[in-house]
Structures are given as structure tokens and as C-alpha cells.
């Protein structure tokens, strides 16, 4: 019997062993997190309800619950939706009688009657002008932001990133909202910064944080709800 020759060098053997170990590790990690995700989706009543009612995602229930509590959507009004994809919030706003939704997201939002949407980064210098153009001189009644960046896992960095989105949304809203209008923004880790809260309290009649029942308990997300815009002073 001929003896099989081993051509691999010691170094190659080491590399092969290391590569396969890395591969197994990544595959294992991916498997357990996607299993967790799948399990959560399968057991989530809001996911089932969203499918049954034709919503594009379970997020639709958060804005429904916000509207039920704060009565933000007015018939024939205009709404700006920041971070709108896949479009659940737009669907709810339009169902509740809003005439026009102007939306922006890094990802495309499939069309809906009454929706004008832009696939672009809200943090781009041009984004506010693009949205203003689509509003055609009409001041919106609501500016709502469900924007969330992909977390990097570093607590302070993630906090700064989300706060940058919230603040950009707020400064945009205070420039364009109609009097008595509403600003809504997703915030994490205990809410908006003290500076932003203080400003919002001067510029809106009521400012509070609200966690809709459909927001996952294990998530630190909550929503800043500022109602009764007093109108821009400067
Ligand atoms: C939780 S999802 C929004 C879900 C949406 N409210 C719905 O009902 O379908 C957050 C969205 O924020 C978007 N986003 C994050 N950063 C953004 C940015 N800088 N500009 C625009 N969209 C952004 C993401 O692409 C993502 O689609």
C-alpha cells in the first residue's frame, strides 16, 4: 500500500487550523443570534398582527399607540417622516387621514398614495432642502423621527450617534413646523440630553418621554414627544 504524502508545511497546517476555528466561531455566533431573532419574531404578537393587517413592520404599532395617546395626526395635514423605511409609520399616518407624508431614509420606501419619499442620508447637507422642496411651502403638522443608526456596540459612541440624529431632527423640525405642531423622536438610554430637553420645553407646550407598549421591554428605546409648538422665535 502506498503511503499518502503530506505536502502541507507546519505553517500551512497552523493556518488551516486557525481558519477553520475562526469559521466555526463566526458560523456559531451567526447561528445563535439568528436563531434568537427567529424565535423572537415567531413569538412576537406584533409581528403576526403587522402581517395580518398588511403593515410593513411591527414599528407601525408604536406610532399607532403614540397617536392613540397624543392625537398627533390631523385630517388633511402634512407629516415629515425621518428614517421611514420600510414605511410602517407612513402607512399609519396616511390611514389616519394625513394628506401627505414627506419621508426620507437611507433605504428605499416602497410607494404609497400620498407619500413622497427620498432615499438619502438625513445628515447630508442637502437633505433639509430636498424635504422642504417636497413640502412646497406647506408647514407640516408633525415631524416624526424613528431614525436609528446601526449600533457599533460602544456605549458612548452609540449614544453620541443617536443624539446627533435626534438633535438634527429637532433643529429641522423647529424651522418648519406649523404652530401647535408635534415633534417625535426615538431616543435611547434614558432619553434626550438635558440641553435638548430644556430647549424643547421652551419651544413646545408639553414635552415628555413615552415608551409605547409595543416597544420591546428589553430595548432602551423610548420616544420624545413634544406637542404644541409655540412657533419659531428667532
Ligand atoms: C427603526 S427603522 C424605521 C422604521 C419605520 N418607522 C417604519 O415604521 O417602517 C430606522 C430607520 O432609520 C433609518 N436611518 C438611520 N439613519 C438614517 C439617516 N442618517 N438618514 C436617513 N435614515 C436613517 C434606517 O435606514 C432605518 O430604516
Judge if 186 and 132 occupy the same domain. yes
Q: Which of 28, 39, 186, 233 is flagged as catalytic?
A: 186
Residue-level pLDDT at 154: 83
Ligand 1 site, residue 147, Cβ cutoff 6 A: yes
> How many angstroms separate the CA atoms of 94 and 230, rounded?
25
Give the confidence band of 18 by pLDDT, cuts at 50, 70, 90: very low
Domain range for 141 = 57-229
Ligand 1 site, residue 96, Cβ cutoff 6 A: no
CA of 204 to the centre of ligand 1 (A): 25
In a domain, 154, yes or no: yes
Residue-level pLDDT at 5: 45
pLDDT digits (tens, 9 = 90+) for 41-100: 667 899 999 999 999 999 999 999 999 999 999 999 999 999 999 999 999 999 999 999
Say yes or no to pLDDT of 10 above 70. Answer: no
Judge if 36 and 74 occupy the same domain. no
CA of 145 to the centre of ligand 1 (A): 8
Q: Percent of the chain having pLDDT more than 90?
A: 69
In a domain, 110, yes or no: yes
Clarify whether 217 is annotated catalytic. no
Q: pLDDT higher for 129 or 193?
A: 129
Judge if 181 and 70 occupy the same domain. yes
CA angle 71, 73, 76 (to 5 degrees): 140
Judge if 34 and 65 occupy the same domain. no
Judge if 154 and 93 occupy the same domain. yes
User: Is the peptide bond preceding residue 3 cis, with omega within 30 degrees of 0?
Assistant: no
pLDDT digits (tens, 9 = 90+) for 150-195: 888 887 888 888 899 999 999 999 999 999 999 999 998 767 789 9
In a domain, 200, yes or no: yes
> How many angstroms separate the CA atoms of 164 and 123, rounded?
9
Judge if 222 and 129 occupy the same domain. yes
Judge if 76 and 136 occupy the same domain. yes
Q: What is the dihedral of CA 162, 137, 127, 170, to 10 degrees?
A: -20
In a domain, 72, yes or no: yes
Judge if 163 and 117 occupy the same domain. yes
Judge if 26 and 128 occupy the same domain. no
Judge if 134 and 19 occupy the same domain. no
By most ligand atoms within 8 Å of CB, the mutation choice from 46, 54, 85, 88 for ligand 1 is 85
pTM summary value: 0.84
If one counts the domains in the chain, the total is 2
Amino acid at each position: 500500500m502506498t503511503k499518502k504524502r503530506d505536502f502541507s508545511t507546519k505553517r500551512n497546517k497552523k493556518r488551516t487550523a486557525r481558519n477553520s476555528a475562526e469559521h466555526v466561531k463566526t458560523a456559531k455566533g451567526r447561528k445563535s443570534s439568528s436563531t434568537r431573532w427567529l424565535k423572537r419574531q415567531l413569538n412576537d404578537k406584533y409581528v403576526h398582527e403587522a402581517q395580518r393587517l398588511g403593515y410593513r413592520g411591527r414599528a407601525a404599532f408604536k406610532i399607532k399607540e403614540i397617536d392613540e395617546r397624543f392625537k398627533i395626526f390631523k385630517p388633511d395635514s402634512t407629516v415629515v417622516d425621518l428614517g421611514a423605511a420600510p414605511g410602517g409609520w407612513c402607512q399609519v399616518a396616511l390611514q389616519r387621514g394625513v394628506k401627505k407624508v414627506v419621508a426620507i431614509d437611507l433605504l428605499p420606501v416602497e410607494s404609497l398614495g400620498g407619500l413622497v419619499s427620498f432615499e438619502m442620508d438625513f445628515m447630508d447637507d442637502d437633505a433639509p432642502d430636498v424635504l422642504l422642496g417636497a413640502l412646497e411651502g406647506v408647514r407640516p403638522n408633525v415631524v416624526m423621527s424613528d431614525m436609528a443608526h446601526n449600533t457599533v456596540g460602544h456605549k458612548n459612541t452609540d449614544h453620541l450617534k443617536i443624539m446627533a440624529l435626534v438633535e438634527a431632527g429637532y433643529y429641522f423640525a423647529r424651522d418648519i413646523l406649523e404652530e401647535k405642531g408635534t415633534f417625535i423622536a426615538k431616543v435611547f438610554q434614558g432619553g434626550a440630553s438635558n440641553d435638548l430637553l430644556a430647549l424643547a420645553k421652551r419651544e413646545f407646550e408639553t414635552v415628555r418621554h413615552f415608551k409605547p407598549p409595543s416597544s420591546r421591554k428589553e430595548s432602551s428605546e423610548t420616544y420624545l414627544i413634544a406637542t404644541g409648538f409655540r412657533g419659531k422665535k428667532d
